[in-house]
Amino acid sequence: MNSPAQTNIAPVVELKGVTRSFEQGGVTIEVLRGVDLEVQPGEIVALLGPSGSGKSTMLQAIGLLEGGFGGHIGIAGTAAEKVDAAGRTALRRDHLGFVYQFHHLLPDFNAMENVMMPQLVLGKSDGEAADRARELLQALGLGARLDHRPSQLSGGEQQRVAVARALANRPELVLADEPTGNLDEHTSDKVLEEFLRLVRGEGSAALVATHNERLAAKMDRVVRLHEGKLD
Ligand SMILES: Nc1ncnc2c1ncn2[C@@H]1O[C@H](COP(=O)(O)OP(=O)(O)OP(=O)(O)O)[C@@H](O)[C@H]1O
């Protein structure tokens, strides 16, 4: 018999036979050809694959921002393909956090405000959002940079703010697409280590697309995209 801890805990993400193709100049490119994956709560999974193999496409599928995907995408036990656009927005808002290769911070807002913003959208009070933003930014070594705007921060610092923003609402799953891809190797390693430490501390799961085998080896599990499927 299952113990209570094992029952009713859905994977944070479940993909079954996920497909995606693009029409380009009359040619159909089948990028995802039946991707199967389960990520359990708290698990950190590296997504490896050469350039063009479809890592970003797969993260976009899970991020529910675009249509055009076939197959089943379950987020925290809900089948995304069975809910409408508002339902997908709610799944994204309630369960997912995103870190991109380029930080996409709001240029006119400082570090604190950038991390507060997604919390205010969820209806948290200013005070609560500020406490959480300060806690995360301090944990990432940015305690002295709280009121700096993105243009006043280094690339590594900007990416740390983006990490704090992604974790601000305590998502069950963080989707990270080459989160340190635009940084030099030393900074990239440092920011990724801090990211992994923080994600572990928060108990979130993460799916992290990267080219870097060495960084992937620091995660709980590695999956590889090859010819449109995971090996
Ligand atoms: N909107 C689109 N229209 C047409 N083709 C696309 C589109 N988006 C992606 N593709 C194609 O799908 C394939 C996979 O792209 P994707 O960006 O997912 O790869 P990737 O593994 O993330 O690559 P990289 O590591 O270089 O970021 C590529 O051949 C790309 O040209």
**The domain that contains 140 carries what CATH number?**
3.40.50.300
ipTM of the complex model:
0.95
Query: Is-contact 70 148, C-beta < 8 A?
Result: no
Q: Give me the pLDDT at residue 184, please.
A: 83
> Given phi > 0 = left and psi -120 to 50 = alpha, else beta, which region is 42?
left
Confidence band, pLDDT 50/70/90 cuts, at residue 8: low
Is the residue at 12 inside a domain? no
Tokens 């979130």 -> residue:
204
Is the residue at 3 inside a domain? no
Is the residue at 2 inside a domain? no
Is the residue at 195 inside a domain? yes
Separation of CA 54 and ligand 1 centre (Å): 5
Report the C-alpha gap between 87 and 137 in whole angstroms: 31
Is the residue at 17 inside a domain? no
Is the residue at 209 inside a domain? yes
Report the C-alpha gap between 59 and 167 in whole angstroms: 17
Separation of CA 29 and ligand 1 centre (Å): 10
Q: Is 52 in the pocket of ligand 1 (CB under 6 A)?
A: yes
State how many domains the chain has: 1
pTM of the model: 0.91
- What are the beta bridge partners of residue 22? 29
Residue owning the nearest CA to atom 16 of ligand 1: 54
How many whole angstroms from its chain centre is CA 94? 13
Is the residue at 14 inside a domain? no
Q: Which domain holds residue 120?
A: 40-67+80-230
Confidence band, pLDDT 50/70/90 cuts, at residue 3: very low
Q: What is the pLDDT of residues 15-73, one digit of tens each?
A: 999 999 999 889 999 999 999 999 999 999 999 999 899 999 999 999 998 889 999 99
